Structure formats: structure tokens, C-alpha cells
A = this chain, B = another copy of it.
Amino acid sequence: MVTIKDVAREAGVSVATVSRACNGSAAVTEDTRRHVLDIAARLGYTPHGAARSLITNRTSTIGVLLPDLYGEFFSEVIRGVDQAAQRGGYHLLVSSSHDESREIVAAFRAMRGRVDGLLVMSPDLDARAAVHEFTDRFPVVLLNCPAEADRYDSIVIDNLDGARAIVRHLIELGHRRIAMITGRERNYDSVERRRGFREVVREAGIAGEDALEITGDFSEASGFRAAAALLEAPRRPTAIFAANDSMAIGALSALRAGSLRVPEDISVAGFDDIPMAQYMNPPLTTVHVDISALGALATERLLSHMREVPEHVHRQEVVSCTLVVRGSSASAPA
């Protein structure tokens, strides 16, 4: 591998000059610069990232910690993150599949000296402590995590508001028996969305047995299973609110398999508005969240945190979401 020394020797200058020429430092003649860059190009020299990081204490990389990479939601988030990072001249070190605190800690440790800041997306409620331990190490921004607003920087979706809006929508359509397919018990987004569901349902005076809850895991398959189970319920709901679009899509499929018409016989609503949602049959009524913008926002927040590190003050930012009514919801059957 060709190093800066090889270039220096070949060009007949010192390594300092090569370094300066490559980094566009002012103090080098135009002639020398061209000469050095020529040699460098000819030799195929590329600076060694680790060496550079070691001395400059900068890596031009931000770490991203995810629970999983499954589904369109996460891929959209990453897309936004990547775009914003690239715009700022940063790379992305991605680490996913961290269900347990223990794994998160391990991933965290592995990041020191490799990243300048960290974006943590860990909706799991248990991971909080693990995150806290590292928040003084380098700048951290939490994305969609449960967090005390004053101790962390965080970006969260207004889950509560979104859930309220969509459940209200269903109630306004005359539904009085509404089921919710939740995510896992420890998932923050799911818990918040369920909180909205429960609130609105209670306000509307809907009895507990008419506000059925059934647990999924945010995957299409779990939505399918949940909806299939709901069809067997003694008092079948006239509307289903799934805690995310993937489960809603699975539910649509199960209902069709059970020969129910959506929305004539039963309404379905999701959450997130993944790109696919509008192309469903029927198109999915859901809560729109600008997912990639969410990722981009979090990244920009992190980048600015990294610049102003000493006088930084933590903030929690809430991104709003809006109800999108499409074909999968309609008036309750008579």
C-alpha cells in the first residue's frame, strides 16, 4: 500500500508538503502542489483514514444504531440519514439488530474512535440505561426513543396526536367496535400509539370489550395473523387500527382471505404512510409521517450538536404527522 512517505520520496519533498498539498493548505506553491498531486495520482495514493482520524480526532463518520433493518420504515429513515450525512460530508457506520441492552452497549463501545457522533434509534424501552451511559462520550441524538427531554437531544414522532387523529376519524365514521393491532409491549412507538387509541376510545364512551387490543410485532405477517384472529372474535370489530402500515397491509390481506370487503365490511387504518401505502388495494388510510425527513432532521441535529459541543443545550423536537384518508376506511356498516 502506498503511503504519504512514498509520495514524498517520489516527489522529492517532505511528507509535510505532501500533506499540505493534498489538504489544500495555503502555504504551498501552486507548482509544488501540482507536482505532488500528479505523483500522488500516478502512484494511486489515498490517505489512510485511521491514521488521519488518530491525529485529527475526527472521523467524518456518524454511527447509526438500529434495532433492526426490517421493513420500509427503517430503510426510509436510513435514506434520510444518509442523504443528510452525505450533504455534511459524513459517512455512516451502521449497526443493527440490537434487541438487548447488552448488545447496545457492545455496539456503543465498538464505536469509540470510529465515529464523531451517534444516532440512536432504539424504540425499546429497556435500552434507555445503556444509552445514558454513553451520552457523555460523544454527541448523541435519539430518534424515536423514550427520553427525558432535558438530558438528551431527541426527535420523536407525535405518535399520540397521530393515533388520536386516526381513531377519531374512525369514530366519526360511526365505528363503535374498533380493534387495535399493537406492536411489541416494550416498543415505545407502539405504546404511545396505543395510549392515543385508548384515550380517544374512552372519551367516545366505547366499552372495553369493544376496544379490543391484540399484539403484533410490526411485521406484515403479524398483522395478517392478528386480523385473522380478530375475524374469529365473538363481536367482530368494524374497524382495525394497526400500529404501523406493514401490519395494516398484512391485515388487509387476511381480511380479503376471509372474504371481507374493505372498506364496505370493515375499515382498516395504519400508521407511518410508507411509500407503498398509497398503492394498496384499497389505498391505505394512515397517518403520514415524513420518514426520510425524520432521519435527515435527526442527522442535521446531530451534526450541529457536534459543532457546538461545549455550549450545547439539549432539546426534544416533536415532528407532527397528519391524517391521510384513503380508500381503506369508510362508514361503519349498518
Q: A residues engaging B (CB < 8 A)? A: 1, 44, 46-54, 59-61, 68-72, 74-75, 78-79, 82-83, 86, 91-97, 109-114, 133, 137, 220, 224, 249-250, 252-253, 256, 275-276, 278-281, 283
Tell me, in angstroms, the Cα distance from A110 to B113 when the chains sit together. Answer: 16
A109 contacts B276, CB within 8 Å?
Answer: no
B54 contacts A82, CB within 8 Å?
Answer: no
Number of copies of this chain in the oligomer?
2
A59 contacts B50, CB within 8 Å?
Answer: yes
CB neighbours of A112 from chain B (8 A): 1, 46-49
CB neighbours of A249 from chain B (8 A): 276, 279
- Among candidates B75, B93, B256, residue contacting A72 with C-beta atoms closer than 8 Å: B75
Most buried by B among A60, A92, A279, A281: A279
A97 contacts B82, CB within 8 Å?
Answer: yes
A49 contacts B82, CB within 8 Å?
Answer: no
Nearest Cβ distance between residue A111 and chain B, in whole angstroms?
Answer: 8
Tell me, in angstroms, the Cα distance from A86 to B95 when the chains sit together. Answer: 8
CB neighbours of A279 from chain B (8 A): 220, 224, 249-250, 252-253
List 7 A-B pairs, minimum CB-CB distance, nearest first.
A75-B75, A48-B113, A49-B113, A50-B53, A49-B114, A281-B281, A46-B112
CB neighbours of A114 from chain B (8 A): 49-50, 61, 91
CB neighbours of A48 from chain B (8 A): 54, 112-113
Given A50-B53, A50-B113, A69-B78, A220 and B276 contact (CB-CB distance below 8 Å): yes
